[in-house]
């Protein structure tokens, strides 16, 4: 049969069937919509939707490594890499750990002498502790229950129990500064002896110069009271002289002296340019031995100082009577 002839004959039936099918599906969809609406109206209201805890990452938001640092998945022993807020605040509460010059002054003690060298191992500080006793120390040593942390040209820093304090040269610390100085009775003048220097300007205090007597060019006598005064006031020596470690072949061979004319050390027979090798047979090529020599000088009855002068050894002697 010819399809065109069939369509022409049954055109009305074909259109009517399509309309019927369309009407059926339309009626079916409308009935489903009505049933859904009736069911929603009769159901209880649904709870309001809550926003998610964290907003989704937008394209403008920069990524952060904080979650990784807080979790620290690379090490199960160390724990989080970011310290807790309490520790961070504790570190910020003490600015002296950031800037040592903001450290508070030490409550006791006084720095009476500082000898600074380019090599920190050869830097020394004499600190007067409680009781008036002076102890010589270098970096890392213990003085009066504190650790000597660092030595500068005008101050030292001490630590105790994690707390840091500072002492300035010549200034008394907190509690010591508040104490009123006790009156001291003036000792009677001793019998006059021949001073070590007969002429020229002298920086030696008269009460010390009058207690010294020259025996020879390399030997001198000094009374114990005058020697004690020098130990109690080391600035008498440090203000007029300096000792610097002398290096040869990368080794310290002694202390090179720079001495002001008319000073105490010149009265003892030392000269500028002398290389001090030993004191009372204690070698001064090691900082620890140099500290030992200083500690023993106060109790020794005599000082035997070996220096190198113009390439030859010279022995100087100081008798403490």
Report the 3 state secondary structure along 240-294.
CEEEEEEEECCEEEEEEEEECCCCHHHHCCCCCCCEEEEECCEECCCHHHHHHHH
Give 246-264 pLDDT, tens digit per residue: 888 888 888 899 999 999 9
Tens digit of pLDDT for each residue in 158-187?
998 888 999 887 676 655 555 544 444 444
CATH number of the domain encompassing residue 109 = 2.30.30.830
The pLDDT value recorded for residue 69 is 58
In a domain, 166, yes or no: yes
Domain boundary among 174, 191, 226: 174
Domain end among 124, 159, 174: 174
CA dihedral (27, 28, 32, 33) positive or negative: negative
Report the pLDDT value the prediction gives residue 302, as an integer from 0 to 100.
92
Report which of 256, 257, 279, 260 is spatially closest to residue 197, judged by C-alpha positions.
Answer: 260
Domain stops at, among 127, 157, 174: 174
Listed in sequence order, the residues at least 6 apart from 130 whose beta carbon sits closer than 8 Å to its beta carbon are: 108, 109, 144
In a domain, 82, yes or no: no
Residues of the chain with pLDDT under 70: 1-4, 6-8, 10-11, 21-97, 130-132, 170, 172-200
User: Do both 216 and 279 map to the same domain?
Assistant: yes
Cα 79 off chain centre by: 27
Burial of 191-222, coded b for 16+ CB within 10 Å and e otherwise, reads eeeebbbeeeebebeeebbbbbbbeeeebbbb
Predicted local distance difference test score (pLDDT) of residue 320: 93
Confidence at residue 70, expressed as pLDDT on a 0 to 100 scale: 61
Claim to verify: residue 236 and residue 288 sit in the same structural domain: yes
What's the rounded Cα separation, in Å, for the pair 173 and 108? 5
Q: Which pLDDT score, from 0 to 100, does residue 272 have?
A: 93
Q: Over the Cα atoms of the chain, what is R_g?
A: 46
Structure tokens at 166: 């500072």
Note whether 152 and 217 are same-domain residues: no
Per-residue b or e along 48-73, where b marks 16 or more CB atoms closer than 10 Å to that residue's CB: eeeeeeeeeeeeeeeeeeeeeeeeee
State whether 232 and 308 are in the same domain. yes
Asked, for residue 116, whether it belongs to a domain, the answer is yes
Q: What is the C-alpha separation between 253 and 275, in angstroms, rounded?
A: 8
* CATH number of the CATH domain containing 287: 2.30.42.10
Q: Are residues 136 and 211 in the same domain?
A: no
Same-domain pairing of 148 and 226: no
Question: What pLDDT is stored for residue 199 in this prediction?
Answer: 44
pLDDT at 82: 60
- Tell me, yes or no, whether 201 lies in a domain: no
- Domain hosting 287: range is 206-320
Number of separate domains in the chain: 2
Residue 188: predicted pLDDT: 43
Same domain, 170 and 234: no
Predicted local distance difference test score (pLDDT) of residue 140: 87
**What spatial distance separates the first Cα and last Cα of the chain, rounded to whole Å?**
153
pLDDT for the residue numbered 236 = 84
Is 26 within the bounds of a domain?
no
**167, 265: one domain:** no
pLDDT value at position 198?
42
- Verdict on whether the full-model pTM lies above 0.95: no
Same domain assignment for residues 305 and 223: yes
Tokens coding 292? 């030992």
Mark whether 229 and 169 lie in a shared domain.
Answer: no
Question: Is 224 inside any structural domain?
Answer: yes
Say if 315 falls within a structural domain.
Answer: yes
Q: Note whether residue 183 is domain-resident.
A: no
C-alpha 151/C-alpha 166 separation (Å) is 10
- Name the E strands within the chain: 110-115, 124-128, 134-137, 142-143, 146-151, 155-160, 163-168, 212-216, 219-222, 241-248, 251-259, 275-279, 282-283, 302-309, 312-320
Residue 136 has a pLDDT of 77
């Amino acid at each position: 049969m010819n399809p065109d002839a069939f369509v022409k004959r049954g055109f009305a039936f074909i259109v009517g069937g399509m309309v019927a099918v369309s009407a059926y599906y339309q009626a079916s969809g409308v009935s489903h919509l009505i049933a859904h609406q009736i069911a929603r109206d009769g159901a209880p209201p649904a709870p309001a939707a809550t926003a998610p805890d964290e907003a989704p990452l937008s394209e403008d938001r920069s990524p952060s490594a904080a979650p990784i640092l807080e979790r620290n998945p690379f090490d199960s022993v160390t724990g989080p890499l970011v310290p807790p807020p309490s520790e961070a605040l504790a570190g910020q509460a003490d600015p002296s750990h950031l800037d040592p010059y903001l450290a508070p002054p030490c409550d006791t003690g006084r720095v009476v002498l500082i000898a600074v060298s380019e090599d920190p191992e050869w830097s020394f500080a004499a600190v007067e502790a409680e009781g008036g006793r002076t102890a010589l120390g270098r970096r890392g040593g213990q003085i009066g229950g504190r650790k000597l942390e660092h030595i500068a040209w005008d101050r030292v820093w001490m630590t105790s129990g994690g707390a840091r304090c500072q002492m300035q040269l010549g200034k008394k610390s907190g509690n010591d500064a508040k104490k009123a100085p006790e009156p001291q009775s003036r000792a009677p003048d001793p019998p006059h002896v021949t001073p070590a220097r007969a002429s020229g300007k002298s920086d030696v205090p008269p009460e010390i110069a009058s207690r010294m007597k020259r025996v020879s060019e390399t030997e001198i006598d000094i009374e114990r009271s005058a020697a004690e005064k020098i130990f109690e006031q080391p600035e008498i020596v440090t203000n007029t002289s300096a000792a610097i470690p002398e290096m040869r072949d990368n080794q310290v061979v002694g202390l090179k002296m720079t001495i002001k004319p008319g000073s105490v050390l010149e009265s003892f027979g030392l000269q500028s340019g002398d290389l001090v090798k030993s004191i009372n047979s204690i070698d001064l090529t090691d900082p620890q031995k140099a500290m030992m020599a200083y500690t023993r000088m106060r109790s020794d009855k005599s000082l035997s100082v070996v220096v190198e002068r113009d390439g030859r050894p010279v022995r100087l002697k100081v008798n403490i009577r």
